[in-house]
Structure 1
Amino acid sequence: MAKPVILTVDDDPEVLQAISRDLRSHYGARFRIVRADSGQSAIDTVQQLKLRNEVVALFLVDQRMPQMSGVEFLEQALQIFPQAKRALLTAYADTDAAIRAINSTQIDYYLLKPWDPPEERLYPVLDDLLDDWLAAYRPPFEGIRVIGNRWSPQSHDMKDFLARNQIPYQWLDIELSEEAQKLADFAQCDRLSLPLVLFSDGSSLLQPSIPEVAEKIGLRTQAEKPFYDLIIVGGGPAGLAAAVYGASEGLRTVMLEREAPGGQAGTSSRIENYLGFPVGLSGGDLARRAVAQARRFGVEILSPQEVTGMRVQDPYRYITLSNGSEISCHALILGLGVSWRRLEVPGLDRLTGAGVYYGAAQTEAMTCQDEDVFIVGGANSAGQAAMYFSKYARHVTMLVRGESLTKSMSQYLIEQIEETPNITVQPDSSVIEAKGETSLEAIVLENVQTGAVETVPATSLFIFIGAVPRTEWLDGVVERDDRGFILTGSDLRRTGEAGLSHHPKGWTLDRDPYLLETNVPGVFAVGDVRHGSVKRVASGVGEGSICVQFVHQYLANVR
């Protein structure tokens, strides 16, 4: 944590040098001594201190300075650091002005020049002021600060990225926070350039890209080696489990995740049916524990990093990264997971990130304090989100196309929702339009049974309506079903005209594919992206774990 600052200002170089020397000798161990030779330069310094998230404990300022007197400086500086103690340095002739300033500018004390000896005429006074300041001092938040607009998609994306990657940050809304407005002014940032991201080292970025922030905060996005025993694409529960078991069994392993470790499960606010956690745990907690475990075994994790292509050149499998580079391996596990399916109705695409969100319950919940929230979906993810929002929102309405929740949601969640007074389940309901200019203002609902249509005011709509695999980059290499899910094991068998079973297209070995193996030997698929998988966290973890055994069997025959 940075030391609190004592800022001393004087236009006389000799006096400034002397006061700085005396302050540093007595207070340098506990405070950082900063000096300025004019009121304007001191204002600039104060603004930069605020941007760097440092705190001023004491202003010690000369009263008689050209262009800007000490009192005039303090009137401006106290708007930035109102809790700082303030003392004037004055010549004997200026004592009347100093006394008037005690009343007009609430100066805490004035000191006469010269202050020799400081042990008698300087330190006792400042000790009292600093002890009083320290008694009320609360250290500021030291992580990343994000200044943005609640209705800005770019601001939402930045918050979501930081939250899902377990990076502590403080959100400051430019519309609601006076401090946010001041910081934006100090950084010369207009509202069209938001979000403004302020880092703990004092640097800042205007409207940065996700990769820029990832690099700045030290997330690894580039591979250390050109070749690995095992590459895992996807950092959800299945991919993380494969990484832990692969590395723990001696395989040089790298895992690549497009967004954040944990995948879609990592966005879940509460998982209550995962074995070994009787009171449940959040998806973020599960991801954090798994990442720590994987790193302990030496897994190299690249995130955020997107894979854009794959090719085979026996005995190696190559993947292409978003920057065009390639890395290779003996065995490849595809744990890509799935993305939220988009709701194709008028207005939603335009307002996504500005009141319309896919997932993102944990990112946006605090901004929905005492508001009405609408959730589209009737499966477990929607139910978990509804329970989470009920802690913050005034009311949560679940919009469900079916007659009830019983066909798609676990019974424990149904019971919790029924017992929560500020959650309403509205069956037979479908969103057919979203309205609003720059942010969501209303949604149009249709009763799927009667056809009745109504428009209701809404500022926050969260959508949890099923899974879509993002496997287009595997075209022509890995076989998939008509929805894009990856085929493995017995699902790959083709039947010929005589009713005989044949090896899948592109298969080059005499044996049949292993249970989780694709049509490309040595390339496996696990978790939600696999055709026929059980869409549960525990099953994804199980598939990722046992897949490593098939990897070993494959490697034993190719090395």
Structure 2
Amino acid sequence: MANPAIVTVDDDPAVSRAVARDVRRRYGQEYRVVRASSGAEALEALREIKLRGEQVAVLLADYRMPQMNGIQFLEAAMDLFPLAKRVLLTAYADTDAAIDAINLVDVDHYMLKPWHPPEEKLYPVLDALLDAWLSTPAAPEGEVRVVGHRWSAESFAIRDFLARNMVPYRWYLAEDPEGARLLTAAAAGESDVPLVITPEGKSLVRPSEAELAVHVGLSTTPAADFYDLAVVGAGPSGLGAAVYGASEGLRTVLVERSATGGQAGQSSRIENYLGFPDGVSGAQLTERARRQAQKFGVEMLAARDVTGLELRGSARVLTCSGGTEIAAHTVILATGVSYRLLDVPGVADLTGRGVFYGSAATEAPACAGDDVYIVGGANSAGQAAVYFSRYAHRVHLVVRGPSLEASMSHYLIEQLRSIPNVQVHPCTEVIAGHGGEHLERLTLRHNQTGEAREVDASWLFVFIGAQPLTGWLDGVVERDTQGFLVTGPDLVLAGRRPSGWRLDRDPYHLETSIAGVFAAGDVRANSVKRVASAVGEGAMAVTLVHRYLEAQ
């Protein structure tokens, strides 16, 4: 097979030659450099590469090109080679415009022209991107194929699980000719959907997440009998804890019930995270953290729902769904929170069929030309509104309060104001959902005037409140009235330590009512609900793990 390609696109012949020359000088032995003078020419080259079954590692595109600018090209190229790393070349004068455009597309890096000397400004960037591309699991021979119905909650759950775990797949409607052919070939009928066909040709009828994970190459079974540290939950705090734990020599296992990234992993754009001035998508941040964890040897288990925690001597033992047990010296609970259900008539029956919790990025292209309703007034809802505005005819942000200022970051409010097809509805609530096969209408009510009205709506995305995923710890670890885990000084009331506490010291700052069991991130009572603080708490928890282990 031919070497993977590095594709460069620039309409200026001199710049195009210079880019190709510098790239070929450093990477020509291992990569094939393909040069194009326009976005259309580059897309045609990509289609030919795709037809030959070859790979593309990096795309470098100039921002300012006629007919199709660099952002538009990179967005179109994603459909052909979604795993290729994307670099935008921009002149200093275009920096602000480029950054604004980057917020609309997941670009891995933007680079100012000129980049001389390349040894300092070009090669380090490409080295890092190529390393990241090489460490990304390649799509297996063939591909995962999913057959289902458009408005099926089960079909959506399968697609969402695959997308959030970065497993490439192709989606077929059961009623379309190709979908019907796949069903016939698998000796299945429309009642057997969702049907998943693995790259090896195995047919899975309505598979569970655990079953699906095994067949698409995700690890679900612990490889060791005992660990120094077990982390439950792979959101920002869990990933942070796993990276710091493993990098400091602890045998670390990370257990996740669904997909890495948690709620943050579904964010279309996080713009106030330190070190990313042009913003970073939740998927990008999650993927980088996942690679970092793997680099340090973290064992990552997917589709494992932890259902119990108990003490057995010096061991803390986690019980997973299916009966699997994971024993460790210490545990960090980083299970995060889930969005509260919208408890109004008609909505529950339409979940996954027009009503979704979180951003559900897999559904965005299907929203093209439609009106989208988003419920919530915090950053996650605002980020979703920005993202869906790229696809929808109009995005309606339904906010219970009188304004966004009390709950949303200033930068995001300003960004929403600049997007013409985003409309904010303050003092408004959804009080009912209506539909048969899928969501068709919503009833909205103004909570000050009491006026109610019905609107046509096929898409509703809900971002309201947060509830901790700690029911499985009831009676085991001390929780507050809302279910958040109580830690550190909050456990020592009037000088009295938690019931059952056997040590002579008070609990450490992030330690729960069980010694050696810590909590980090959103699941912890009184935590700051931000990605940066969650990552910081994960790292801090590892420091306290070391302190605990040294005292044993």
**Band the TM-score falls in, shorter-chain normalisation:** 0.7 to 0.9
The answer on 1:287 being equivalent to 2:286 is yes
Contact 1:141–1:170, Cα closer than 8 Å, also in 2: no
Give how far 1:207 is off: 2.0
The answer on 1:528 being equivalent to 2:522 is yes
| SS of equivalent residue, structure 2 residue 542 | helix
1:532 is aligned with what amino acid? Answer: N
Distance 2:141 2:410 in 1: 41
Distance 1:456 1:395 in 2: 13
The answer on 1:541 being equivalent to 2:541 is no
Give how far 1:142 is off: 4.2
Distance 1:191 1:456 in 2: 32
CA distances 1:142-183 after superposition (whole Å, capped 9, x unpaired): 4312121121000000011001111111222335x4322333
Q: Which residue of 513, 527, 532 corresponds with 1:519?
A: 513
Give how far 1:519 is off: 1.2
| SS of equivalent residue, structure 2 residue 207 | coil
Superposed counterparts of 1:106-185, under 5 Å: 142-175=142-175, 177-185=176-184
Distance 1:265 1:543 in 2: 15
* 2:85 corresponding residue in structure 1: none
Contact 1:361–1:389, Cα closer than 8 Å, also in 2: no
Contact 1:361–1:385, Cα closer than 8 Å, also in 2: no
* 2:441 corresponding residue in structure 1: 442
The answer on 1:406 being equivalent to 2:405 is yes
Give how far 1:325 is off: 2.6
Distance 1:554 1:468 in 2: 29
Contact 2:375–2:460, Cα closer than 8 Å, also in 1: yes
1:452 is aligned with what amino acid? Answer: E
* 2:200 corresponding residue in structure 1: 201
CA distances 1:452-486 after superposition (whole Å, capped 9, x unpaired): 11111111100000210010111122101000000
Contact 1:241–1:541, Cα closer than 8 Å, also in 2: yes
TM-score calculated relative to the size of structure 1: 0.73
CA distances 1:408-428 after superposition (whole Å, capped 9, x unpaired): 001111111111011100111
Give how far 1:304 is off: 1.0
* 1:108 corresponding residue in structure 2: none
Contact 1:417–1:423, Cα closer than 8 Å, also in 2: yes
Distance 2:341 2:440 in 1: 20
> Could you say if the C-alpha distance between residues 346 and 141 of structure 1 is closer, same or farther in structure 2, counting changes exceeding 3 Å?
farther
Contact 1:254–1:301, Cα closer than 8 Å, also in 2: yes
> Could you say if the C-alpha distance between residues 382 and 141 of structure 1 is closer, same or farther in structure 2, counting changes exceeding 3 Å?
farther
* 1:556 corresponding residue in structure 2: 550
Distance 2:193 2:281 in 1: 30
> Could you say if the C-alpha distance between residues 392 and 142 of structure 1 is closer, same or farther in structure 2, counting changes exceeding 3 Å?
farther
* 1:451 corresponding residue in structure 2: 450
Give how far 1:141 is off: 10
Distance 1:490 1:296 in 2: 35
Distance 2:506 2:432 in 1: 49
* 1:25 corresponding residue in structure 2: none
1:322 is aligned with what amino acid? Answer: S
1:422 is aligned with what amino acid? Answer: N
Unaligned runs of 5+ in 1: 2-53, 56-139, 496-500
* 2:489 corresponding residue in structure 1: 490
**Structure with max Cα Rg:** 1
Superposed counterparts of 1:259-298, under 5 Å: 259-298=258-297
Contact 2:142–2:200, Cα closer than 8 Å, also in 1: no
TM-score calculated relative to the size of structure 2: 0.73
Contact 2:404–2:413, Cα closer than 8 Å, also in 1: yes
Give how far 1:511 is off: 1.0
The answer on 1:503 being equivalent to 2:497 is yes
Contact 1:469–1:529, Cα closer than 8 Å, also in 2: yes
CA distances 1:87-122 after superposition (whole Å, capped 9, x unpaired): xxxxxxxxxxxxxxxxxxxxxxxxxxxxxxxxxxxx
Contact 1:319–1:328, Cα closer than 8 Å, also in 2: yes
| SS of equivalent residue, structure 1 residue 502 | coil
2:500 is aligned with what amino acid? Answer: G
* 2:431 corresponding residue in structure 1: 432
Unaligned runs of 5+ in 2: 2-50, 53-139
* 1:241 corresponding residue in structure 2: 240
Distance 2:213 2:538 in 1: 27
CA distances 1:234-290 after superposition (whole Å, capped 9, x unpaired): 111100111011111111110100111111111111111111111111111111111
Give how far 1:324 is off: 1.5
Distance 2:323 2:179 in 1: 39
Superposed counterparts of 1:408-423, under 5 Å: 408-423=407-422
CA distances 1:42-63 after superposition (whole Å, capped 9, x unpaired): xxxxxxxxxxxx99xxxxxxxx
Identity %: 55
Superposed counterparts of 1:338-349, under 5 Å: 338-349=337-348
The number of residues matched between the two structures is: 418
Distance 1:327 1:199 in 2: 29
Distance 2:369 2:197 in 1: 28
| SS of equivalent residue, structure 2 residue 439 | coil
* 2:97 corresponding residue in structure 1: none
The answer on 1:363 being equivalent to 2:362 is yes
Superposed counterparts of 1:16-35, under 5 Å: none
Distance 2:185 2:310 in 1: 50
Superposed counterparts of 1:370-385, under 5 Å: 370-385=369-384
* 1:353 corresponding residue in structure 2: 352
2:506 is aligned with what amino acid? Answer: D
Give how far 1:188 is off: 3.4
2:156 is aligned with what amino acid? Answer: H
CA distances 1:368-391 after superposition (whole Å, capped 9, x unpaired): 111111000010000111111011
Distance 2:179 2:391 in 1: 23
| SS of equivalent residue, structure 1 residue 357 | strand
* 1:23 corresponding residue in structure 2: none
Give how far 1:204 is off: 2.3
Contact 2:141–2:199, Cα closer than 8 Å, also in 1: no
Distance 2:143 2:442 in 1: 37
Distance 2:293 2:229 in 1: 14
Contact 1:435–1:442, Cα closer than 8 Å, also in 2: yes
Distance 2:480 2:453 in 1: 38
Provide the aligned C-alpha RMSD in A.
1.9
Distance 1:420 1:200 in 2: 41
Give how far 1:314 is off: 2.7
Distance 1:493 1:206 in 2: 52
* 1:217 corresponding residue in structure 2: 216
* 1:392 corresponding residue in structure 2: 391
CA distances 1:477-505 after superposition (whole Å, capped 9, x unpaired): 2101000000011111112xxxxx11122
2:291 is aligned with what amino acid? Answer: A
Contact 1:361–1:388, Cα closer than 8 Å, also in 2: no
Distance 1:382 1:192 in 2: 35
Contact 1:260–1:304, Cα closer than 8 Å, also in 2: yes
Superposed counterparts of 1:47-126, under 5 Å: none
| SS of equivalent residue, structure 1 residue 373 | strand
Contact 2:160–2:360, Cα closer than 8 Å, also in 1: no
CA distances 1:427-461 after superposition (whole Å, capped 9, x unpaired): 11111111111211111111100111111111110
1:261 is aligned with what amino acid? Answer: T
| SS of equivalent residue, structure 2 residue 335 | coil
| SS of equivalent residue, structure 1 residue 145 | strand
| SS of equivalent residue, structure 2 residue 406 | coil
